[in-house]
Chains A and B, each alone.
Chain A
């Protein structure tokens, strides 16, 4: 096993290509080091992405934020402009593990580890995040909801990795929120997680909405029917009922020790309603 720390995207792609599947990517290491220790993975080479400047940045451009995929959650949570623009996304990132984990864990790792219950992913889906992906065949853009294809599996080809998450600057009268259910106060894996982002017009009618749903299917989901339930309404009780029903209907959960199928389906609707209320209040506030 070797360790390499390339200084550029190009160098990283070359390393991954040269090692043809034997390389494992290291960002925050909060998943990889656990798998290494358990013997689940035996990389030929560990490619640490954190020395690549583009993967360690938070940049505010005219129309968007660019978030380096290997930036730590702690750094993202300290970025005032990002917190103001996308509080739901930052809250979701902040729910990943303890203070110690926050110092290491990254949005790129949370997405590409491909857990169905990854907290940041539904919030990123709701926010409409785009992943800029680099690889042997060049660069391409992928909507965040199209990265995870199943537990532990992604649509990234061999040698590809996420460089940057691009989040649009929110339009006027927009708000987002992420809520998850865990049976404890802290330090647990989502039983259900729901992200909501919405935009109102000057009369308070919803013109845009996106709903992200986690931990209730093999992949995080974009719930188009949930968004449709809000668009054209004032996000009143009737619209929230329709949102809850659409969100519950989108669930394809498993039964396990953390929640039964009917419980998860019910809770998904409840959380969607509550998250939409928070997003609505935030949208009204600006």
Chain B
């Protein structure tokens, strides 16, 4: 079957790609567009390492078809820093050592960004529930949660 021609906006820039009907958005991002920041952990929507923001909604890109991106806006980890300036969440993840192997990190950052866009002043409980779909097998979550709370404070100007 012929590939589909898809036009989307990725990290604010227009993008066009060809993809097979069954190809996931994650596969398109990584293997067609070479945006390899989004990771495949489980491929079944359990781990959140492939998290992206699709038209303002946090989703697992492994559970979205590439063709579904037609006409839509996709935000990935690659769009998070502004040039050489890290996003406050990225900066705080470094300061708090909120990562070890790093495979889960892009997903946590994108998910945390989606949270802080909705809720600039979340409680620790809200952070933990929001991030329950992101699995980390190294840090034990505490440093990640602290980094997110600290970043939220920095972004509010505290």
Chain A residues at the B interface, C-beta cutoff of 8 Å:
1-3, 5, 26, 28-30, 33-34, 36-37, 46, 48, 50, 72, 74, 97-101, 103-104, 185-187
Contacts and interface: CB of A to CB of B under 8 A. Distances in A.
Contacts of A97: 45, 133
B6 to A, nearest CB: 10
Given A98-B48, A99-B58, A104 B64 contact: yes
B43 A101 contact: no
B104 interface: no
Contacts of A36: 22
B91 interface: no
Interface string B18-50: 001110100000000000000000011110100
A99 B130 contact: yes
Interface residues of B, number: 33
A186 B132 CA distance: 7
B65 A33 contact: yes
A250 B132 CA distance: 33
B139 to A, nearest CB: 18
B111 A34 contact: no
B117 to A, nearest CB: 13
A25 to B, nearest CB: 13
B147 interface: no
B28 to A, nearest CB: 13
Contacts of A29: 63-65, 68
A33 B24 contact: yes
Interface in B102-120: 111, 114-115
Contacts of B133: 97-101, 187
Nearest to B56: A103
A187 B44 CA distance: 13
